[in-house]
C-alpha cells in the first residue's frame, strides 16, 4: 500500500486540521472580545464627552467675596471622644500573610497568581468580591465559576 493512501497519514492530517481550526477559533474569539472591550471604552468616552458643558457666566456678574467665619472649630475633649472597643475594622491594606487561594476548588496556581496581582490575596477578599470582578481580575475562562469561589471562601 502506498504512503499517500495510508490511514495513519490521513489520521495525522485530520488531527492537524482540527488543531488549526481550534487555534483559528481561539484567535477569532480573542479578537472579537478585544474589539468589544475597545468599543465599550470608546462608547463610554463618547458618552462622557457628549455631556453639555456648564453655561458660561456673563462677565458683568460679580460674585460677592466669601467671608470666612471667625470662630474656628474646637477639638473634642476626652469626654466627648467615644472609645470603640472590640469592633473589627476592615483593612484595605495588604495583610501580613496572604491565604493559600489554591485551597479553593477551581483556583489553581495561575488564577491565584493573577488574583494576587490584582490585590486579592485572602479568603475574605474573595468573599467580598463580585463574580464579575473576580473573572476580570483572574482573566478567567468561561469554564471558571467565580460564584463557587465566593461560596467556598465564605466557608473558610
* Domain of residue 129, CATH code: 1.10.150
Q: Give pLDDT, residue 87.
A: 45
Gyration radius of the chain over CA positions: 29
Q: Give pLDDT, residue 123.
A: 86
Give the residue numbers spanning the domain of 147.
101-155
In the chain, the number of structural domains is 2
Q: What is the mean pLDDT of each run of 10 residues along the chain (156 residues)?
A: 73 88 92 84 59 56 62 63 52 63 85 88 87 86 83 84
Q: Give pLDDT, residue 108.
A: 86
Q: Is residue 118 part of a domain?
A: yes
Angstrom CA distances, 95 to 90, 121, 133, stand at: 11, 8, 20
Q: Give pLDDT, residue 144.
A: 82
Domain boundary at 34, 49, 64, which?
Answer: 49
What does the alpha-carbon distance between residue 136 and residue 133 come to, in Å, rounded to a whole number? 5
Q: Give pLDDT, residue 89.
A: 46
What sign has the CA pseudo-torsion 76, 77, 80, 81?
Answer: positive
Q: Give pLDDT, residue 29.
A: 92
Q: Give pLDDT, residue 28.
A: 92
Q: Is residue 89 part of a domain?
A: no
CB count in 10 Å sphere of residue 105: 10
What does the alpha-carbon distance between residue 66 and residue 23 come to, in Å, rounded to a whole number? 67
Amino acid at each position: 500500500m502506498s504512503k499517500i493512501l495510508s490511514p495513519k497519514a490521513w489520521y495525522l492530517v485530520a488531527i492537524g486540521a482540527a488543531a488549526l481550526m481550534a487555534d483559528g477559533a481561539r484567535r477569532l474569539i480573542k479578537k472579537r472580545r478585544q474589539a468589544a472591550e475597545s468599543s465599550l471604552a470608546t462608547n463610554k468616552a463618547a458618552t462622557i464627552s457628549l455631556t453639555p458643558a456648564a453655561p458660561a457666566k456673563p462677565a458683568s456678574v460679580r460674585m460677592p467675596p466669601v467671608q470666612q467665619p471667625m470662630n474656628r472649630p474646637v477639638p473634642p475633649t476626652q469626654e466627648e471622644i467615644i472609645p470603640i472597643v472590640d469592633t473589627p475594622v476592615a483593612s484595605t491594606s495588604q495583610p501580613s500573610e496572604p491565604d493559600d487561594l489554591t485551597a479553593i476548588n477551581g483556583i489553581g496556581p495561575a488564577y491565584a497568581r493573577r488574583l494576587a496581582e490584582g490585590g486579592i490575596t485572602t479568603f475574605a477578599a474573595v468573599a467580598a468580591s463580585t463574580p464579575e470582578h473576580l473573572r476580570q481580575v483572574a482573566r478567567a475562562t468561561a469554564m471558571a465559576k467565580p460564584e463557587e469561589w465566593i461560596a467556598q471562601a465564605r466557608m473558610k
